[in-house]
Structure 1
Amino acid sequence: MERSGTVDKAVRALEALHSSGGSASLAELAARLRMPKATLHRLLASLAVHALVEQDGEGRYRLGVGLIRLGLGAQALDPVARVARPELEQAARAFGETFFLVAARGGRLVVLDKAEGTGLLRAAPTVGAEVPVDVTASGRLYLAHAPELVGADAGRAAPRAVQQARKRGYDVNEGEWINGLTVIAAPVLARGGLHGCVACAAASPNLRGQRLEAAVRHTRDAAESVARSLQGESKR
């Protein structure tokens, strides 16, 4: 597939701004991207015309509101995200912890949506974040049910862990990806395929014993509700 060097540079610039934690100067971005300042300045100027980046009063660059418009538009058009949203919100209200929708898009696992819990703590990751396949509950479920969608990382996960995830119908990741964070994931299986995973995330001390059992139950119930909706079935 033929690629555009300009588009690649633009995406790299946006990703660098995203990882900067807020804003960055032209010099900081040029050094990080190893790109001439003049080239980067022209690129950022084009992105600014479309509100994809903006400058603050000190001339530092940050991500623009146009990205929010595009991101929300893409999310609204995603059929799984549309169906899952009310289920994530209901589960978050009922259980008090954060629930995610994780799905494979373009060969990568990404967080498509997120409903925050009612507690003070807010669980990472953010919407749009890429989720590693080999060390996460959602990743192992994809390897168990649809490895062709995430095949690039299939060889790095323990086969026994993948088999166990498939057998019990959910998986648990305790601090394997993000230290101190426990994640329970359950697959959304509908119409003969895997359409994503519903995941519950919380600080590890909050998910122990009966609390962990309850998290598994809420997560599986939400995933099954999404699957029924995708199949056009009414809720039980």
Structure 2
Amino acid sequence: MSRLTTAQARHALASAQKSGAGVPAYLRWVNRPLGGQVAVIAAAWGWSPNGVTALSATFGALGVGVLAGVTAWWAGPVAAVLLLLGYILDSADGQLARIQRRGGPAGEWLDHVVDGIRAPLVHIAIAIHLLRTDAALWLVLMAALFSALVSAWFLSQLLAEKLLPKQPRDASDASAGILTSFVKQPHDTSTTYLALVFLGLPLVFAVLYTALFAWHVLMFSGSLRRKYVQLAAL
């Protein structure tokens, strides 16, 4: 595909941008806008969406590698930066596909595969880091359980989207959309990445990580019940 000018790319993105209603706060107001800027640059440079996805996966792999392989205090902050950069690129690939009108099942599938691998690997890497730094065994086990939980939630959401009828979005109540964005924020992967900044402070990280795990357990339990009731009613 021929390269677009920056102005053309911005115009194409503005006319094909997704609604942010109900999306977690960081994703809505930080990650998507930054991903859009990257997508515009990528379009001007002639990059492909799959190439951006591959770059996102590379940053994610580097972040996971730092977490699992480095025990120094700076491992958490560096891993957080790498994972957040990967997250920006994860948002950019879809926006680039819309700019270039190259979206399709293959690209969406690849994007979901990368997400499905990266999410549990982050918690497995956290478990390895905690084990190597002589953290409490219960915290290590919780990180391992966290990896299974995020995988199960990811699969549950994908299957529900496939099996349940499409529901139109109601964007009439902007304030409710804003509230929902903040309520959903702990579920966004950026919250886990930002918590890694405190990995070198064991007590602070343990409190934050435990609270995040407890929130996921409660919300996932409610989500499972809600989806089962919806599916059973079909």
So what's the TM-score if we normalise by structure 2? 0.30
Higher relative contact order (CA 8 A, sep 6+): 2
Identify the structure with the greater helix proportion.
2
So what's the TM-score if we normalise by structure 1? 0.30
Structure 1 or 2, whichever has the larger Rg, is 1
Identify the structure with the greater strand proportion.
1
